[in-house]
Amino acid sequence: MILINKKKNSTAANRYLNYLKKYPREILGAFICGISGGSMSVLMTYYTGKSIDTMIGKGKVDFPELFQILGLLLVSLFISVVTQWLVQYLGNRTAYRSVAELRKDTFVHLDQLPISFFDQTSHGNLVSRFTNDLDYVSEACAAIFNSLFTGITVVCLSFIAMLLLNPILTLIVLITTPILFIITWIVAHTSQNNFTGQQKVVGEISGYISEIVGNQKIVQAFQQEKASQNHFDQLNSKLLVWGQKAQFTSSLTNPLSRFVDHLAYAAIGAVGGILILSHKGGVTLGVISSFTIYSSQFSKPFIELSGLTTQIQTALAGLQRIFEIQDHPIEKPDTQPLKKLVVTNGTIDFKNVFFSYTPTQPLIQDLSLQIDAGSTVAIVGKTGAGKSTLVNLLMRFYDIQKGKILIDGVDICQYTRDSLRKSFGMVLQDTWLFDGTIRENLSYGRPDATDAEIEFAAKEALVHSFIEKLPQKYETVLGSSGLQISNGQRQLLTIARTMVSDPPMLILDEATSSVDTLTERQIQTAFLKMMKGKTSFVIAHRLATIQEAEKILVMDNGMIVEIGTHKELLQRKDGYYSKLYQAQFAHNDF
C-alpha cells in the first residue's frame, strides 16, 4: 500500500509540474529574486560577525569600519526584503494560476464523462475535490515557492561561508543535517496514508452534508433528524481519527528537527569556545556569532520543509483525487465519419435491443418497437420497470449492448451525440434552474431566441402572468441569491424552456408532477400544441395525462408487456394497464 501511494504521489506531482511549466517567466523571476534574497541573507550574516569584531574591547571600537558595515547591512536588508516580497508575489501568482488551469481542465473533463459516472459518484464528494482539495494544492504550492529558491541559495552559500570560516565547526553542522533528512523522510513515509484517508472522509462528509441540507424538509418530515445526526457523528468521528493520526505523525517533524538544530547550536558554542581559548583556527567571537547564524540559516530550509510536511501531504492527497477524475474514461468518442441528425420524419425503431446497467442484472432484453413519425408514445409501469432507461438509451446517455436504435432509418450511433441530443427536448420530474435571470433560464437551450418567442412560450406554459407580476419581470434573478419560487413554478419554467428550444422530438418524464390538477389540465392543452407533428415520449404514472396518446407502452422488468391505445388496453380486463387504471380511478386493489 505504501509503495502504491508513493508511486501515486510521484505521478500526481509530476503531472502537476506540467501546469507549473506554463509559467516560465514567473518561475524565472522567482528564481532570480530567490538567489538575490538568499545571497543578501548570507552576506548580512557575514557582516554581522565583522561588526562584532570591530568591537575590540571596552572603549575600543573601530567606529569608521562599524558605520561602513552598518551601511552595507542596511542595503543588504533592503534588497532582501524587496526580493522576498517579489518571490512571494510571483510564487502566489504561479501557484494559484496553475491550480486555476488544473481546475479548468478537470471541469472540462468532467463535462465529457458519461452519465454513469455521476450516477455512481456523490455530488458533494465531487464538489469537495474542486474546492477543498484544490485549495490545499494552491496553498502548499505557494508555501513551497516562498521558501524554495531562497532556501536553496542560503543552504549553498552558507555552507561555502562556513567552510571558509572553519572546517571543524562546519563538520558539526554536516553531521546534524542528515538527521533532519531522516526525520522528515520517516514522518512523510508514515503519514501519507493517513492524509489520503483524511481527504477521502472529507469528501464523504461533503457529500452527506450536501445531500441532507438539500433535502432537509424530507428529513424533518420523517423525523430523521436524530438518525442523520448519528450518521454525521459517525463520519465526523471517522474524520477525527484520520485527522488526529495525520496531524500527529506530521507534527512530529518540526519539534524533532528543532531539537536536532538546538543540539547543533550547543555543539558549535562548546567547540567554538574551546577553539577560541586554544587560539586555533583563527576563531574569533565574531566568527562564532556568524557561524551560529550560518548554522541556523543552513538548517532553516530543512526545518521549514518539515513544517510544510502537513500541507504537502494534504496537497498530494488532493492531487490524487483530482487526477482520479481526469483519469476516468470519458464518454466513448464518436467514431468518424459521423453526420449531424436533421430530423426529416421522426420515425424511431428499436430492433432487438439488449441492455443492462450491470452484467449480472439484465434489464432490457430483445426489445423491438416501431414508433411512427409525429406520434405520441406514453410509457407506463411500476418503478424500476425500465421507463426512464428507454429514454436514456434513446439519448445515448448509455449505449446498448446489442441491437440497434434507428431514427429515420439510420442507426443513432452514426449521428453525433450533440446533434442527437439537441433533437430532443426534455422536461424532467427533477427540475433544474441555474442562478441567473428568468430570461437566461428560458433561453438556455436556444440563446438566440427573441423576446417574443420567449414570452410566447411562457404564455403557453401558463407562467407569463406570474413573471409579469415580478418587479423585474423577465430580468428577475433566480437561485440562491435571487428569487425563491415553488416547485410548481420551477416546473412551469422548465416546460417553457423546452418550448423555447422547439426541438423536433420531445421527452416528458413526469413533467406535470409538481403542479395542481387544474394547472395540469391547462398544461396538457399547451403540450398538445407543442407536440403536434412531433414524435413525443411521455413517461407518466398518472394515467389521466396520457389518454390521448396514439400508443401506450406498458413496461415491466425491462419488457413491453402490453401495447395499444387507452381504449384498447382497457378492454383487456385482466391486463396490466387495466388493473393499473382501476387502481387509480376505481380504488381497486392492484
pLDDT of residue 352: 86
Q: How confident is the model at residue 536 (pLDDT cuts 50, 70, 90)?
A: confident
Alpha helix (H) ranges present in 215-284?
Answer: 216-221, 225-251, 253-278
pLDDT band (50, 70, 90) for residue 335: low
Q: Do residues 289 and 352 share a domain?
A: no
Query: What is the DSSP pairing of strand 436-437 with strand 424-427?
Result: unpaired
One domain for residues 321 and 336: no
Mean pLDDT of 136-146: 83
- Among 40-49, 289-298, 313-322, 525-534, top mean pLDDT goes to 313-322
What is residue 511's predicted lDDT score, i.e. its pLDDT? 62
Q: What pLDDT shows up at residue 334? A: 67
Q: How confident is the model at residue 159 (pLDDT cuts 50, 70, 90)?
A: confident
Domain of residue 564, CATH code: 3.40.50.300
Same domain, 260 and 379: no
* CATH number for position 68: 1.20.1560.10
- Residues forming beta bridges with residue 96, ordered by sequence position: none
Average pLDDT over residues 53-80: 75
**What local confidence, expressed as pLDDT, does residue 306 receive?**
62
pLDDT for the residue 17: 85
At CB < 8 A and 24+ separation, what contacts does 165-171 make? 165/287, 165/290, 165/291, 165/294, 166/272, 166/275, 166/281, 166/283, 166/287, 166/291, 168/271, 168/275, 168/281, 169/268, 169/271, 169/272, 169/275, 169/283, 169/291, 169/295
Residue 580 has pLDDT above 70, yes or no: yes
Mean pLDDT of the chain: 77
Residue 585 has a pLDDT of 64
Confidence tier at 1 by pLDDT (50, 70, 90): very low
Q: Residues 189, 75: one domain?
A: yes
Where is mean pLDDT largest: 109-123, 270-284, 423-437, 460-474? 460-474
Give the per-residue pLDDT at 557: 76
Under DSSP, the state recorded for 339 is: B
Same domain membership, residue 358 and residue 247: no
Same-domain pairing of 273 and 415: no
Tell me what percent of the residues of the chain surpass a pLDDT of 90. Answer: 0
Is residue 545 in a domain?
no
pLDDT at 30 (0 to 100): 85
Asked if the structure places residue 476 within a domain, the reply is no
The residue among 327, 348, 375 that closes a domain is: 327
Q: How many Cα neighbours within 13 Å face the side chain of 90?
A: 23
**Count of domains forming the chain:** 2
Whether residue 156 is found in the same domain as residue 263: yes
Asked if residue 340 belongs to a domain, the reply is yes
Arithmetic mean of pLDDT, 557-585: 79
> What per-residue confidence (pLDDT) applies to 2?
38
Residue 376 has a pLDDT of 84
119 in a structural domain: yes
Are residues 316 and 181 part of one domain? yes
pLDDT at 413: 83
- Is the pLDDT at 436 greater than 50? The verdict is yes
Assess if residue 528 is contained within a domain: no
In this predicted model, what pLDDT tens digit does every residue of 485-517 receive, in sequence order?
777 777 788 888 888 887 888 888 776 665 666
Residue 136 has pLDDT above 80, yes or no: yes
Q: Poorest-confidence range of 21-25, 210-214, 241-245, 370-374? A: 210-214
Question: Which is higher by pLDDT, 46 or 400?
Answer: 400
User: In whole angstroms, what is the distance from residue 391 CA to residue 538 CA?
Assistant: 10
Does the pLDDT of residue 303 top 50, yes or no?
yes
Alpha carbons 251 and 238: distance in angstroms, whole number: 20
Residue 584 has pLDDT above 80, yes or no: no
Q: Which of 298, 327, 356 is the last residue of a domain?
A: 327
**Residue 56 belongs to some domain of the structure:** yes
Starting at the edge strand that comes first in sequence, how are the strands of the sheet with 535-539 ordered?
Answer: 424-427, 505-509, 535-539, 376-380, 551-556, 559-564
Query: Which residue, 263, 293, 327, sits at the end of a domain?
Result: 327
Domain range enclosing 8: 2-327
pLDDT at 588: 44
Q: Clarify whether residues 199 and 303 are in a common domain.
A: yes
Mean pLDDT in residue range 108-130: 79
222 or 340, which is more confident: 340
Q: Is residue 390 part of a domain?
A: yes
Asked whether residue 418 is assigned to any structural domain, the reply reads: yes
Secondary structure of residue 244 in the 3-state scheme: helix
Q: How confident is the model at residue 222 (pLDDT cuts 50, 70, 90)?
A: low
Q: Give 576's pLDDT tier (boundaries 50, 70, 90).
A: confident
User: Is 250 found in the same domain as 323?
Assistant: yes
Same domain, 217 and 171: yes
For the stretch 102-112, pLDDT in tens is 888 888 888 88
Residue 268 sits in the same domain as residue 119:
yes
What's the rounded mean pLDDT across residues 14-39? 85
- Contact by Cβ (8 Å): 145, 94: yes
Q: Which of 20-24, 328-332, 542-546 has the lowest mean pLDDT?
A: 542-546
The mean pLDDT of 261-269, rounded to a whole number, is 75
Q: Evaluate if residue 100 carries a pLDDT over 60.
A: yes
Strands 410-411 vs 402-407: parallel, antiparallel or unpaired: antiparallel
**Phi and psi of 287, rounded to 5°?**
-65, -45
